[in-house]
Every structure is written in structure tokens, then in C-alpha cells.
Chain A
């Protein structure tokens, strides 16, 4: 299990998801808090590469032994890649929620919308 952290270089959605944006390219994942609440992740059901995802909509699901959780898209766009390593080894989400445990890559519809998300301090204020 990883240590609790909320990296300053990421942006956050109140449903406990993070975004690492670079221009119109972005990587999505779930926060340390989300993986801790879920417990050991045993299954990731990803979206199809090429599929459209809507901001605030569910793009897949993560399951622990005890529970299922929808994963919420912080921003809208088109899925360009899925982290197959997490599909194979879902526990990466617990071990490394911000690096090896990323979930999908997305081409953003509106890169400027990143500014509407929470910074690390504001997100931690919700916890």
C-alpha cells in the first residue's frame, strides 16, 4: 500500500479522480483517498479505446473484494489508451495511484476546462 499523498502538479475532481494534463493530452486516475476507501482493487473494467467519455460521467468501473465503484471522468474527450497493466494487475491502483496505477489516456475536448478543476489543496479540503 502507498502513503497518502495528493501531488501538487495534478488537478482533481470531487469524485476523487485526478488529471495530469499536457495540452490536449491527459491521463486520468483515482486518488489515494479513493483507492483507500475502495480497498484492494481486484478488477478494472476499462472503456474501449476510441470511445467518447463525458465530463462527470462514468467511464469504467473498479472493484475491490467488497465493492464496485464507477470511475468518473473529470473532463470530456476521446479515450486514446487504456492502462493494460492495471487490467492485468489491478492492485497497481493501490500501490501507485498516481504513477503505475493510471487508468486511461484521453484527448481532451476542451483543454482549458482543466482550469475549472480543483487543485491539490482544494481537493484535500473536501476530504
Chain B
């Protein structure tokens, strides 16, 4: 079984650190090193270092790149200057989400898409299917690695491995990307992440990933800890960030998922007519945040009930380490979607009281 799983360039580091490895999206990835809760808290309080090399990296180049992305992406790439990024979607004709991604505008008419590990092949096939003249889609995933450094001290730590003659990392604005030599390794450094904390996602050549990882972990005095996909999942869930294949998929639209603010309505792109109609006429179901009132943990697949009648299904859930409550997301009829609505979750045969809450579940104290 494990022989078919893929490994990142940092696999040996994970083994040395004693990580518990699990399958994720066809990859053998660390779920935790010490424990999910401890790593989660470290990221909220200090910093965590994540290997996210399983994520896909696609470069779109050529004279037709912009035309392809204008049609294929639901956001408006014309709003991006060089070095800027957007959260976006590849949609099908029905407005369903083939993948969610971040699109970066790089110098030299080059665009970078960071996509979900399990969707790389589908995304490439979809993009090539447009047969856009002059657009070249190159999957650079195998040649590249990506590390996420996230947490309140992430940018302070980064300053220690940052080129001295360039502006400090804390001058980088969110959703921007620059090229820098970090810890001696040529990298693309993006002020993006999936945790709700300040931080960066750093991309480099696959064969330099170990040097980058070691160079950052050499600065343990900041309190940085290697963190696994377990904490990555609880961190993103506390922020209400959807996970493709669970909270969103090819049968759900950004409007249903409450992600309409990331879509540029009024523009024509694949799926736009369905989204326009949903905005005008309303949706039949809506993704909401659900917090348990009882001490219990909602999980993917558990039925959501209102007065004994099933009104939806949990799409992902966990015990929130920050809020210390069971939290989850799921689709319900719009009539039940208002924050404060009480409902129940069927947790292995027992109805547990819960309520709809606004996202994110966790708000940083300021």
C-alpha cells in the first residue's frame, strides 16, 4: 500500500524528527511530530514550520496566459500587479469548484498557481482543455518544494535567514510574492498561508528543500516547531477556510460556500452564468459554521438536524484547540443559515445541541 504513496524531498527530515506519517491526497505526509494540539498552539503563540511540498505548482506562461486565466479563473486577474496574489477558483460549467487555489502574478508574464495536491492532474487537464493559443501550462510540482512558516514570530524568524540588503520580511504585504535567497537557497517567498496567522509560504527547488528546512529550524530560539498536517487542518478549520474535497467540491459553488467575495461577478468566465443566477435568485444550500453547545465533536459525514429532521451534513469538523469546543462546517438550507440558529448534530446516534456561528470560529485577540 505504502509503496504507491509519494514522498516529498523532506521525507527523511520527517523520519528523523519521529513524525507520525499518514496518507494525504496520494502522499505520505507527517500528521504530527509531537502532537496536533501542541503544534496547533505553537503556531497560534509562536511559529510552526510545515512541509507542504505535496501542493501542486503550475506555471502559466506565454502570450495567451492572461487570456486563459481570465476565462478559467473566477477572480479578476487584471487586478493583480506583478508580485501580487489572489485566492481563486477553477470552476466547471455548472459553477462547481474543480479546485481552489492561489494565483500569483510573477515577473516576465509568468503566472503561478498553487493548487491542491489531489487535484493537480485534473487541473492541468482542465487548463489544457481550453486549447488557448499561446498559453503554456507547465506542472513544476515535482521539481519544486514548498514550506510554510506560520505564526506570530514567523516574520521575525525569517529576518534571521533573510538577505541583509533587502527590505525586512515584515515589510511584505499579505498576498504578495518576492524572489529572495533564504538561508542560502533561492526561493519564491509569498505572504500567504492556511492558518490565519502571519507568515509565509516559501517555494524552492526540490533538491534544496532540505537546506531551507534546516536553515529555518536552526533558529529554534524563536520557538518554531515542525508542524504536521493535523495542526494545519485544525488551524484552517478554526479560520473557517474550506478544504477541497470536503467542504467544497465540483458539486458546490463559491456562492453556496460563502466565498462569493473572492469571485469577480459581472465578468464572463467558466461557470459565471450559474453564479450570477445564484446571486440574483438565492442558493438552495449554504455552507455555515457550526459550534457544538454540548461537549462533543462533529465529524465529516455526521447528519445535521433541526427538530429531528435532517437538514444537512457535516463536511469537516474537529475539537478546536483554541476555542475548546467541537466545531465544524456543513451545508444547510438558507432558512437555517443565520448565526444564532440552533440545530443538532447526530453524533453516532445521539443528538447534540449546536448553533450556527459566524466564521471564523477563532478570532485573534488584538
Q: Which residue of B lies closest to A61 (CB)?
A: B348
CB–CB B299/A65 < 8 A: no
Q: Which residue of A lies closest to B299 (CB)?
A: A68
Which residues 64-100 in A have Cβ within 8 Å of B in the complex?
A: 64-66, 68
In the bound complex, residues from chain A placing their C-beta under 8 Å from that of B31 are 39, 66
In the bound complex, residues from chain B placing their C-beta under 8 Å from that of A64 are 36
CB–CB A68/B348 < 8 A: yes
Is the interface on chain A under 10, 10 to 19, 20 to 34, or 35 or more residues? Answer: 10 to 19
Counting CB contacts under 8 A, is B89 at the interface? Answer: no
Known contacts A61-B348, A65-B230, A66-B230; is A40 also within 8 Å of B295 by CB?
no
CB–CB A39/B296 < 8 A: no
CB–CB B299/A40 < 8 A: no
Q: Which residue of B lies closest to A40 (CB)?
A: B35
Please give the number of chain B residues whose Cβ is less than 8 angstroms from any Cβ of chain A in the complex: 16
Choose one: B295, B296, B318, B348; the contact of A65 (CB below 8 Å).
B318
Counting CB contacts under 8 A, is B319 at the interface? Answer: yes
Known contacts A65-B234, A66-B230; is A42 also within 8 Å of B20 by CB?
no
Choose one: B36, B319, B321; the contact of A63 (CB below 8 Å).
B319
In the bound complex, residues from chain A placing their C-beta under 8 Å from that of B234 are 65
Choose one: A1, A43, A45, A66; the contact of B36 (CB below 8 Å).
A66
Counting CB contacts under 8 A, is B297 at the interface? Answer: yes
A–B Cβ pairs within 8 angstroms, 30 of them: A1-B35, A39-B20, A39-B31, A39-B32, A39-B36, A40-B35, A40-B36, A40-B37, A42-B297, A42-B319, A43-B295, A43-B296, A43-B297, A45-B296, A61-B348, A63-B297, A63-B319, A64-B36, A65-B36, A65-B37, A65-B230, A65-B234, A65-B319, A65-B321, A66-B31, A66-B36, A66-B230, A66-B318, A68-B297, A68-B348
Interface residues of chain A, those whose CB is within 8 Å of chain B, are 1, 39-40, 42-43, 45, 61, 63-66, 68
